[in-house]
Structure 1
Amino acid sequence: MLDLADATQVPHGGNLGEAAKRYGIPREDWIDLSTGINPRGYPVPAIDPAAWLRLPDDNDDLEEIAAEHYGATRALAVAGTQAAIRMLPAVLPQGRVGVGLLTYGEYAPAFERAGFPVDRFVTPQFADCRDAAAFVLDPARALPADLKHLVLVNPNNPGTERFTPQQVMQWCEELAARGGTLVVDEAFVESMPELSVANLADREGLIVLRSIGKFFGLAGARVGFVLACPRIDRAMRHLRGPWSVSGPARVAVRAALLDHEWQARTRATLVASGSRLADLLAQFHPTVRHTPLFSWVRGQQARRWQDGLARHGIWVRRFDVIPGVRFGLPADDAAWSRLDAALRAVKMEIES
């Protein structure tokens, strides 16, 4: 029987309907900056109507194209990274799992539901915020002796911490030596490819997750990829089952992965836009960190900033475990101007 406590929803960005009801502003009048999704995503080509009428072809070339794109030996297509997260506990041996205190919220519940003890960690920049139960994940220190697995989001969402491939593989080797696994979520790495370890995912003890939703802006397609060694690939392939990625989604993602010219242009554009957003926010906040797809502002006034911007029809994501606000990228010049004006107005309200 389902334990209803396990059905509790983890809060996420993109919940614009909730904001519209709460503030009484029509949905179409909002600027949604609550996710880190590219607001100018891949222009999906026309899709053959037949793709809607037949079962998805799991044996097409999508996975081979993805493996080549990521520089990996193999790739498993899944219905978004979320589907892979739910499968991870079934393919890993029981043991303590390290999950960031400030990171993507689905990992800890997935492992806890499966009976894995979960230890939370912070990176050195947030060491002042940890409670007694959290450990500091520091490349200069060994991992806790009783830790079996580690989940690393690189670059981290929302705190923007980033880890070099050398640091990542140091932890991987340390865990593999004790029969454990490093799970690296690279959902936001497409615009920061120098951080990726996808080309090393054939190793035992390493699982890499990639997303189509962020850089490509195709969040609605619900497609992600698992890059792993043959043993893990076989196990997750069995758990995934058939037809998990729809035919139309396969067409869209295939086109996006093959469009190298669009990817190069978009990577450059996002780097510039990410810096522009950070520069704008720095006028109002002393502590701004950013990736090409989002900025993170840490501060005790997070609730007031979210509420103040919402009253101007701008929705951002607030975090409470370490107080702060994540800002996604505005889609156009009008949205940039509205954000600038709203920030100025809210700052005056807070300081008055």
Structure 2
Amino acid sequence: MLEHGGKLRQAAQRYGSKDWLDLSTGLNPNGYPAPALPADAWHRLPEHDPQLLQAAQRYYKAPRMLAVAGTQAAIQALPRLRAPSRVAVASPSYAEHLHHWSQHGHATSAVPYSELGAAVADADVLVVCNPNNPTGACVPRAQLLEWAAALAARGGWLVVDEAFADTDGAHSVADATQAPGLVVLRSVGKFFGLAGVRLGFVAAQEAILAPLADLLGPWAVSGPAQQVARAALEDSAWQQAAQARLQADGARLRALLARHGLASHGTALFQWWPEAQAEALHDHMAQRGIWVRLFPQAARGIRLGLPPDEAAWQRLELAFNEWTNR
């Protein structure tokens, strides 16, 4: 398996049991409070809830969507829906995309964000995280739509992973997925902080969603996950309050890093910066019970999520003070 954030058990095995502050995932640390569920949610086979899809389509402004067991399920399945193709994957980005397109007979290439435009001419499929994880890089909406049209003209796809787009949807193309070959992935795990329910959505034309649904099979998303996600997607008051808090906390994290001479990039949910002493800083934080995300190779650097409360902010500040003054 590829390396991901989280894995506090692994941290404890290496550094000992601590009161861990997990900043490694980039999730909303004050996620949506899941409502109590009726007993039959746990005992019935999970039918697809049309009201969940309606709520998702309103929230994401997408004309048609399919609920999946986390966008990871779609990332693994989409490469199986095409004959062997030339696939360009934006790099560095969420590593699961390149990993799964590299299987099933596809010819893949990792393409820097600055070279994506040139790659469109020679690709059948282009995969872009927008905003990017971990660097926060963004491709303008107009550019994405131009690439989607060029790829679709020859039967190609543009796959846009918008898992971190909730806090700044200016470049989202979910509303344009009535166009052929444009596939958008959205997640309730990041902004809503509901990673544990394993639920996401794919927006695309029915020509893509129908075979994807067939491939994923019946009961792909649990009943409890559907009910919790529907409540979150329909709760506009919570969404507005969360947006305000995340924007403020994101600015606070950027300012904290800047005080220590770190020019970071990211979203309201996380910050990343290239770090020459990435392993040493990761170890420094872990020794203090703060688990951050280390990128030792591609996108070499450190990614930090948001602290959940004031005590955690102070703890992070102290750790950076000790790092700077070591």
Answering whether residue 70 of structure 2 is matched by residue 76 of structure 1, we say: no
Q: Which amino acid aligns with 1:284?
A: H
Answering whether residue 215 of structure 2 is matched by residue 215 of structure 1, we say: no
Look up the match of 1:61. Answer: 51
Give me the TM-score of the superposition, normalised by structure 2.
Answer: 0.97
**Deviations 1:43-75 (Å, cap 9, x if unpaired)?**
111111221111112144211221122111111
Look up the match of 2:110. Answer: 120
Q: Which amino acid aligns with 1:335?
A: A
**Deviations 1:276-297 (Å, cap 9, x if unpaired)?**
1011011223321121000011
Look up the match of 1:205. Answer: 181
Answering whether residue 63 of structure 2 is matched by residue 86 of structure 1, we say: no
SS in 2 for 1:61: helix
Look up the match of 1:275. Answer: 251
Q: Which amino acid aligns with 2:77?
A: M
Answering whether residue 154 of structure 2 is matched by residue 164 of structure 1, we say: no
SS in 2 for 1:326: strand
SS in 1 for 2:135: coil
Structure 1, unmatched stretches of 5+, are: 1-8, 125-135
Q: Is the 2:120–2:147 contact (alpha carbons within 8 Å) kept by the matching residues of 1?
A: no
Q: Which amino acid aligns with 1:174?
A: A
**Aligned counterparts of 2:49 and 2:22: Cα–Cα separation in 1:** 37
Q: Is the 1:34–1:326 contact (alpha carbons within 8 Å) kept by the matching residues of 2?
A: yes
**Aligned counterparts of 2:31 and 2:282: Cα–Cα separation in 1:** 25
Answering whether residue 285 of structure 2 is matched by residue 304 of structure 1, we say: no
**Deviations 1:96-147 (Å, cap 9, x if unpaired)?**
11112211010111111212111111123xxxxxxxxxxx22xxx5435321
Look up the match of 1:226. Answer: 202
Query: Relative to structure 2, which stretch is displaced further, 110-119 or 152-161?
Result: 110-119
Count how many residue pairs are aligned between Structure 1 and Structure 2.
Answer: 325
Structure 2, unmatched stretches of 5+, are: none
* Deviant stretches of 4+, over 4 Å: none
Correspondence list, 1:180-199, <5 A: 180-199=156-175
Answering whether residue 311 of structure 2 is matched by residue 334 of structure 1, we say: yes
Q: Is the 2:49–2:226 contact (alpha carbons within 8 Å) kept by the matching residues of 1?
A: no
Distance 1:86-1:341 versus aligned 2 partners, 3 A rule = same
**Aligned counterparts of 1:171 and 1:97: Cα–Cα separation in 2:** 14
Q: Is the 2:87–2:126 contact (alpha carbons within 8 Å) kept by the matching residues of 1?
A: yes
Look up the match of 1:127. Answer: none
| 1:217 Cα deviation after fit | 0.3
CA RMSD of aligned residues (A): 1.3
**Aligned counterparts of 1:279 and 1:173: Cα–Cα separation in 2:** 39
From 8, 26, 35, the equivalent of 1:16 is 8
**Deviations 1:233-272 (Å, cap 9, x if unpaired)?**
1111111211111111111001000001111111121111
**Aligned counterparts of 2:81 and 2:173: Cα–Cα separation in 1:** 20
From 23, 30, 34, the equivalent of 2:24 is 34
Q: Is the 1:275–1:290 contact (alpha carbons within 8 Å) kept by the matching residues of 2?
A: no
Query: Relative to structure 2, which stretch is displaced further, 278-287 or 102-111?
Result: 278-287
Look up the match of 2:325. Answer: 348
**Aligned counterparts of 1:144 and 1:264: Cα–Cα separation in 2:** 37
**Aligned counterparts of 2:121 and 2:266: Cα–Cα separation in 1:** 32
Query: Relative to structure 2, which stretch is displaced further, 145-154 or 218-227?
Result: 145-154
Q: Which amino acid aligns with 1:303?
A: E
**Aligned counterparts of 2:16 and 2:188: Cα–Cα separation in 1:** 33
**Deviations 1:329-349 (Å, cap 9, x if unpaired)?**
000000000000001112223
Distance 1:166-1:312 versus aligned 2 partners, 3 A rule = same
Distance 1:31-1:60 versus aligned 2 partners, 3 A rule = same
Answering whether residue 110 of structure 2 is matched by residue 111 of structure 1, we say: no
**Aligned counterparts of 1:145 and 1:57: Cα–Cα separation in 2:** 42
